[in-house]
Structure 1
């Protein structure tokens, strides 16, 4: 699976990492629903860090279609809410 972090680049991740990312996505939704900005920042950071840690970065000039697009680390709670609609960042 190819994952893009907006403003940073793309990472290749094995499908086996999907459960870990889904767990963080669920936590992010909970923080967003509660309106907890600090919790939102913490979990978004953990989700992005997991992608960076588990994935292999693609070359900057690679333009592979991304199966998943995540917000940048500095995205606001409202910006991410707009990205999500009623669903999480990671399709289940």
Structure 2
């Protein structure tokens, strides 16, 4: 799976990582719904860190279609309400 972090690049993620990311995504959904901005920011930061640490960075010269687009860490909770809804950014 190809994941783009807005403003930071793309990463190739193995399926096992996607399962872990989906769990974080589900927590983010709950926190956004509850309006818990500080906790939301921590989980979004954790999501991005996991992708960077455990995914494989894709060189900028290689152009691939992203399966998932992750918003930047500075996303406000108000903006997050439009992004993290339904089943979130990770299906499942």
Instruction: State the TM-score, normalized to the length of structure 1.
Output: 0.93
The residue that corresponds to 2:51 in the other structure is 51
The residue that corresponds to 1:76 in the other structure is 76
SS of the residue 2:25 aligns to: helix
The residue that corresponds to 2:34 in the other structure is 34
Q: How far apart in 2 are the matches of 1:32 and 1:85?
A: 9
In structure 1, runs of 5+ residues without a counterpart are: none
The residue that corresponds to 1:6 in the other structure is 6
Instruction: State the TM-score, normalized to the length of structure 2.
Output: 0.93
What is the root-mean-square deviation in Å for CA atoms of aligned residues? 1.1
SS of the residue 2:69 aligns to: strand
Paired residues in the alignment total 92
Q: How far apart in 2 are the matches of 1:26 and 1:49?
A: 16
Q: How far apart in 2 are the matches of 1:40 and 1:83?
A: 13
In structure 2, runs of 5+ residues without a counterpart are: none
Shift of 1:89: 1.3
Q: How far apart in 2 are the matches of 1:86 and 1:78?
A: 16
SS of the residue 1:11 aligns to: strand
1:60 aligns with 2:60: yes
